[in-house]
Amino acid sequence: MKARIPLIVFIFLLLSQCVVAQEQDTVQRKKTRIHIEHYDVATFSKSMGDMQRLIGNVRMRHDSAYFFCDSAHFYEKTNSFKAFQHVHIIVNDSVEVFSDLLDYDGNTRFAEFFDNVKLMDDSTTLFTEYMTYDRNLHLASYPDSATTVRGDKTLKSHYGYYRDRLKEFSFFENVEVTSPKYQMYTDTLFYNTNIEKMWFEGPTTIVNEKNVLEGKRGYYLVNEDHVHLFQRPFMHNETQQMWSDSIFYDRTKGLAQAYDRVDMIDTSYKVVMRGDYIEMWENRGFSFATDSAYAISYDGGDSLYIHGDTLFMHFDKQKEEVEKLIARRNVRFFKSDMQGKCDTLTYLMADSTIRMRVNPILWAKDSQLSAEEIDIKVKEQSAEWVVQRGNAFIISQDTIEGYNQIKGADIISRFKDGNIHRVNVDGTKAETIYWIRDDDGSLIGIDVSDSETMVIEMENQSISIIKGFKAINETMYPEEDLMESARYLPGFKWHSEARPTDKDDIFRRIEAEMPQVVKEVSETPQESQFAEEEPIQEKEKPRHRPRKDIQND
């Protein structure tokens, strides 16, 4: 007979017995006799402790369990036996165990299996080299490495347990789960095959063909292919990363839902999307964030902060790179040299263009720009040019009093070092009101002019040249000769109170006139409901956090 496994085995057995000692005390042990049902040849040896040697097609029974082997040593006085070669036990209707060697005590109903051990229960098979089985507790234990196969899944661990009555495995140390869909690595894993649910504790990594998920606690629903991660889990691929307090991931739908303190980063275009609730749809190629949501475009020291009631991030499904960012409802953004507000904002990453729609206002240094639509071209983190379409206005406050104003159907402004450098006013009528001052600051007069089109050159944030084209009218008024009401172009509005003052001020709510309702909005946000071509009226409602359907198990 082969030598017994050394001291570590007995230490393991002692520990395992301590773990289940409380449960074991409650078990009513039945001392029943082992029955020999068949053998080909039998011999008796009194010198070896009244041992019977059974050879050939041995079959024994103890209560409801049946034992098969090639040969056995049966000890009637101690109600025990040792079985050799092709050992096979039928524990119950579903559980069977195979090995090369078995040591069984009928009084304690405790079995030790050695070499080529295989436990089978329904469609689950466990392979190891040494295993114990306590029939009273329905508990199988292995102290040194085992591989468990169920369907298309293979599970490995350093040591573990199996409770056949509960259909539950406990895996510990260097646990690996491998399947065609994913690979999982953890320190502690519990797997109930009856309900097809896995629980994991400790640092855990799950890898699939699209993403890597890391967490410290959670569970996996095998049939649904759903993963729930808790305690600041981390999800990432080559270009995108996401942290939160908890993450739900549906691999079949390609849906990830992140809850509380969520950070989603696209490293290709250096964009961060934050909120207390974010959904990422891999198969549909977009994510959206709500509940204190904002985005950060970072590249260097000066970042752009964008807030909206809902943020969408659309990305290329093949390259896994962000294509555009859309902010909807109560949109406000802040950058050190540029701030703005509108109802819908679209940031196209490929050409660094920002589109502002529905009551947009842009502030650049001392200038306020407004229109029905505003487009901004960003270069090296600063505005390169701005296009204002429909009822376009540029207003800047005079150094002492009054307001310098430019108005037209459309305005194109070129920027240099964050300041407006050149302005082209197009349409049927271009208008300006400008306070002209001497070098010492004294007022020379108020210039009022209009023409069909106009080109304005700026220097040191002041108008240096105004060129009008066709139907030119220009008058220089002394201050006392120009009525107060005539000092403002029609449609003049100064919105200094709405201007964000810093990155935290983007969350401040601004009361403003909203557009008319153009379509109904369902309660659940869908991508089609937030198309930038169809702005939607927002109804005033209390802000709330999204309902959490996912509970910590």
Contact 420, 367 (CB under 8 A): yes
Nearest to 377 by CA among 410, 394, 347, 352: 352
Distant-in-sequence, close-in-space partners of 6: CB < 8 Å, separation ≥ 6: none
Tell me the three-class secondary structure of 478-535, residue by residue.
CHHHCCHHHHCCCCCCCCHHHCCCCCCHHHCCCCCCCCCCCCCCCCCCCHHHHCCCCC
- The span from the first CA to the last CA of the chain, in angstroms, equals 48
CA torsion, ordered 362, 364, 369, 370, to nearest 10 deg: 10
Distance between CA atoms of residues 464 and 179, nearest Å = 71
Cβ atoms within 10 A of the Cβ of 188, count? 18
Structurally, what CATH architecture does the domain formed by 33-131 represent?
A: Sandwich (2.60)
Distance between CA atoms of residues 93 and 341, nearest Å = 70
pLDDT at 283: 83
Distance between CA atoms of residues 280 and 347, nearest Å = 18
Q: Sort strands 430-437 and 271-281 into parallel, antiparallel or unpaired.
A: unpaired
Residue with tokens 């990155």: 503
Residue with tokens 């000692």: 21
pLDDT at 109: 96
Same fold flag, 33-131 and 361-506: yes
Residue with tokens 């405790």: 110
Token representation of residue 390: 């429909």
Q: How many helices (DSSP H) and strands (DSSP E) are in the chain? A: 2, 40
| Assigned fold of 361-506 | lipopolysaccharide transport protein A fold (2.60.450)
Distance between CA atoms of residues 387 and 410, nearest Å = 7
Residue with tokens 């079959």: 59
Give, as one character, the DSSP assignment of residue 537: P
Contact 288, 311 (CB under 8 A): yes
pLDDT at 398: 83
Distance between CA atoms of residues 193 and 325, nearest Å = 43
Distance between CA atoms of residues 301 and 317, nearest Å = 30
Nearest to 412 by CA among 468, 448, 371: 371
Helix H or strand E segment including 7 = helix 7-19
- Segments of the chain with pLDDT less than 50: 1-13, 15, 18-28, 512-553
Cβ atoms within 10 A of the Cβ of 139, count? 22
pLDDT at 117: 98
> What is the Cβ-side half-sphere exposure of residue 515, based on CA atoms within 13 angstroms?
17
Cβ atoms within 10 A of the Cβ of 261, count? 14
Give the CA radius of gyration of the chain.
38
Classify residue 277 by burial, with Cβ atoms within 10 Å: 0-12, 13-18, 19+.
buried
Token representation of residue 535: 């702005």
Distance between CA atoms of residues 100 and 412, nearest Å = 87
Contact 360, 330 (CB under 8 A): no
The alpha carbon of 81 is separated from its chain's Cα centroid by a whole number of angstroms, namely 56
Domain boundaries, the chain: 33-131, 361-506
| Residue 11 Cα distances to 14, 29, 172, 237, 452, angstroms | 5, 24, 16, 43, 96
Collapsing DSSP states into helix, strand and coil, what is residue 303? Answer: coil
Distant-in-sequence, close-in-space partners of 176: CB < 8 Å, separation ≥ 6: 154, 155, 156, 157, 183, 184, 185
Classify residue 77 by burial, with Cβ atoms within 10 Å: 0-12, 13-18, 19+.
exposed
